[in-house]
């Protein structure tokens, strides 16, 4: 039986200038380290929910550890179950649009801000495809 992991995921957003006149919503991503599960792929930051914490507590803790922001508020986007064969994940995904600090990868991984169109061209773990689809639907 595959290992099951409960994960809190933050879709960190910001309205950013793309030209002197135009702004657009962008999404902060980190790139998984090569030696990790699904290594080398882009992801929305987050991490495992520990037994002693709520999903909101896990999200706040993980985003502080991984990208050095303090979550002020978030809203539920979706829940996703995915079976990778070697492990199953339950992703509880939240839009994080109010936070203190500027996101910056803290674990040596790649990072970047991307438009919704750019998200659709990047290499993500399979479970993350449902997040992108939900963002596309939400923004159309």
* Residue from 8, 24, 9 nearest 114 by CA: 24
**Domain range annotation of the chain:** 3-138
**Does residue 71 contact residue 99 with C-beta atoms inside 8 Å?**
yes
Q: Quick one: pLDDT at residue 59?
A: 98
- DSSP E strands in the chain: the ranges are 3-17, 23-31, 42-43, 46-48, 70-83, 87-100, 111-114
Q: Quick one: pLDDT at residue 1?
A: 61
What are the residues facing 79 on neighbouring strands? 92
CA dihedral 112, 48, 70, 43 (to 10 degrees): 10
**Does residue 6 contact residue 18 with C-beta atoms inside 8 Å?**
no
Q: Quick one: pLDDT at residue 16?
A: 80
Alpha-carbon span 109 to 76, nearest angstrom: 26
Q: Quick one: pLDDT at residue 24?
A: 86
pTM listed for this prediction: 0.92
Q: Domain 3-138 sits in which CATH superfamily?
A: Nucleoside Triphosphate Pyrophosphohydrolase (3.90.79.10)
Residue count of the chain: 140
Is 47 exposed, middle or buried (CB count within 10 Å of its CB: 0-12, 13-18, 19+)?
middle
Q: Identify the residue whose tokens are 């050095």.
A: 68
Alpha-carbon span 109 to 118, nearest angstrom: 19
Per-residue pLDDT tens digits of the chain, which is 140 residues long: 668 999 999 999 998 877 776 788 999 999 998 878 787 899 999 999 999 999 999 999 999 999 999 999 999 999 999 998 888 999 999 999 999 999 999 999 999 999 999 999 999 999 999 999 999 999 87
Q: Quick one: pLDDT at residue 3?
A: 83
């Amino acid at each position: 039986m595959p290992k099951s992991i409960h994960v809190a995921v933050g879709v960190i957003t910001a309205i950013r200038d793309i030209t002197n006149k135009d702004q657009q919503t962008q999404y902060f991503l980190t790139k998984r380290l090569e030696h990790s599960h699904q290594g080398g792929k882009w992801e929305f930051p987050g991490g495992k929910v520990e037994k002693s914490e709520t999903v909101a507590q896990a999200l706040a803790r993980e985003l502080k550890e991984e990208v050095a922001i303090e979550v002020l508020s978030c809203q539920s986007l979706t829940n996703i179950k995915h079976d990778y064969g070697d492990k199953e994940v339950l992703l509880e995904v939240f839009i994080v649009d109010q936070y203190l600090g500027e996101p910056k990868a803290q674990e040596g991984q790649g990072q970047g801000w991307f438009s919704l169109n750019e998200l659709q061209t990047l290499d993500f773990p399979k479970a993350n495809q449902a997040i992108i689809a939900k963002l596309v639907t939400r923004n159309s």
